[in-house]
Structure 1
């Protein structure tokens, strides 16, 4: 079976130059506050580093800004909560399946976690059941998480309903950790609101939404399209019926506004990704927004 983690790393090198990867790693390192740190070494300052981390004496000696790097004396945990209902087998905005984008985002963030001595865990599922893989800190384990998501998110899975996975995480993961949600579009209701209030009090949270393909327009009308959630043909009349297309767009905008409002009220940063080529840049921006909000 081909290694998904190797594929993620190779694509990351294609989409991000060395400096961008360094910035991404620096943003991840800044997430956990109050952890016990030991000095490890010095490295060259890059834009985005915290000014307070500059070693001014060493900088004066060599004439180039240097920042202190530290390592954690205890491991942190990164928990992925992933929708693996059949919605994630649908086509995303960039033409790939949504689970391909989720796997790439998981692979990048999971690799950053392992590089910092942290552990990664997974909660995933659909209305038929929620499943969990415990935290470990090896690439073999991360590969297993990616393979699990890839295998579970198929057209034969149950309909996507994220609330069950979020409730599972809230009930069973008490230790404070970084929780990363990767999901299709979520409709906000009382159940989602309640569980997100609870999770935000327990953990630091990042939210990644995988965007739908565009349904309206000439391209959609020219091909056979299906609504994965309902397992029926998409109403391609959206392309021809301007009023219906407007109603659809208003409904989608209202759902997006409700989710954004909920996340903002709980201090949760969100990224919307529609293509694997956007993953590195979007994750960097997401981590930066989270750091600045703390």
Structure 2
């Protein structure tokens, strides 16, 4: 069976150039604040580096800006938190299975942590149960975490409920960690907002939403509909939440399509407002091709917000 971590590494090939990879590593390293650090060495300044890290005396001698680099005295812990309910076995906006995008995103962040010598753990589950896996180091351990998510996310599983996994973390995880949450399109509500504020008070939290497939294409009912998806000439489409048959876009009136788009926009706005009110940096992806650049932007926004 092909290694999931190897797939992650191949997707990050866009950052194989040393300077670009250094920028991605730098964004990750900036997430933890107040960690105990020892001076390591100097390197050339790169766009996005903190000005306060410039060694001005060394820069004057060298003739160009140099950044002081540090190494952590102790390793940090990154906790991957994700939904393995059946919602994540449905299609994303790109047509890919959402769990494949989730595994890639978790793998990229986990691999960054591994490169920095940090420990990586996992909390995942659905509405029926939550599964914690302890934080450890090493590529073999990260591969096991990714395989656990991949094998436990199925269409015949229980419904998704990421709030249960977040509640588990709030009740059982002590110390200050980096939580990287990958989830479906969560709707905002007061109970979840309260839970998020509690988590953010103790941990650094990054949130990545995987967008659902478009059920009513913007631009009108039936636009972009492919005949091989028509329930008469091709496979039926069902909601993974309750197994109900979904009407194809040609069957939707303009009013229904508009109402669907408005409900989706309202839910998205509510989720974004809830996360930002809790002080959580959030991002969204529609496909596996978005993951690396989305994570880079997520880490950069988190650094700037701090």
Q: Deviations over 1:255-277 (max 9, x none)?
A: 11111111111111110001111
Check 1:20–1:242 CA distance in 2 against 1; reply closer, same or farther (3 A cut).
farther
SS at match of 2:32: coil
CA distance in 2, matches of 1:247, 1:30: 42
Deviation at 1:219, TM superposition (A): 3.5
In the superposition, the TM-score normalised over structure 2's length comes to 0.91
1:69 alignment counterpart: 69
CA distance in 1, matches of 2:214, 2:225: 7
1:210 alignment counterpart: 210
Aligned ranges for residues 126-141 of structure 1 at < 5 Å?
126-141=126-141
Comparing 112-121 with 226-235, greater Cα deviation is found at 226-235
SS at match of 2:295: helix
Deviation at 1:170, TM superposition (A): 0.5
Check 1:213–1:21 CA distance in 2 against 1; reply closer, same or farther (3 A cut).
farther
Aligned ranges for residues 1-294 of structure 1 at < 5 Å?
1-14=1-14, 17-217=17-217, 218-220=223-225, 222=227, 223=229, 224=235, 225-237=237-249, 240-294=252-306
Check 1:239–1:80 CA distance in 2 against 1; reply closer, same or farther (3 A cut).
farther
Deviation at 1:18, TM superposition (A): 4.3
CA distance in 1, matches of 2:15, 2:117: 25
In the superposition, the TM-score normalised over structure 1's length comes to 0.95
Residues 16, 280 of structure 1: 8 Å contact kept: no
Comparing 104-113 with 228-237, greater Cα deviation is found at 228-237
Instruction: Tell me the C-alpha RMSD between the 2 structures.
Output: 1.6
CA distance in 2, matches of 1:264, 1:109: 21
Residues 238, 244 of structure 1: 8 Å contact kept: no
Check 1:15–1:29 CA distance in 2 against 1; reply closer, same or farther (3 A cut).
closer
Deviation at 1:80, TM superposition (A): 1.0
Q: Deviations over 1:7-51 (max 9, x none)?
A: 110111047754332211111111111111011122221101111
Residues 216, 261 of structure 2: 8 Å contact kept: no
CA distance in 2, matches of 1:83, 1:213: 17
Residues 87, 241 of structure 2: 8 Å contact kept: yes
Check 1:157–1:15 CA distance in 2 against 1; reply closer, same or farther (3 A cut).
farther
Q: Deviations over 1:145-179 (max 9, x none)?
A: 11111111111111111111110011111211111
CA distance in 2, matches of 1:98, 1:79: 20
CA distance in 1, matches of 2:34, 2:225: 50
Name stretches of at least 5 consecutive residues in structure 2 with no aligned partner. Answer: 218-222, 230-234
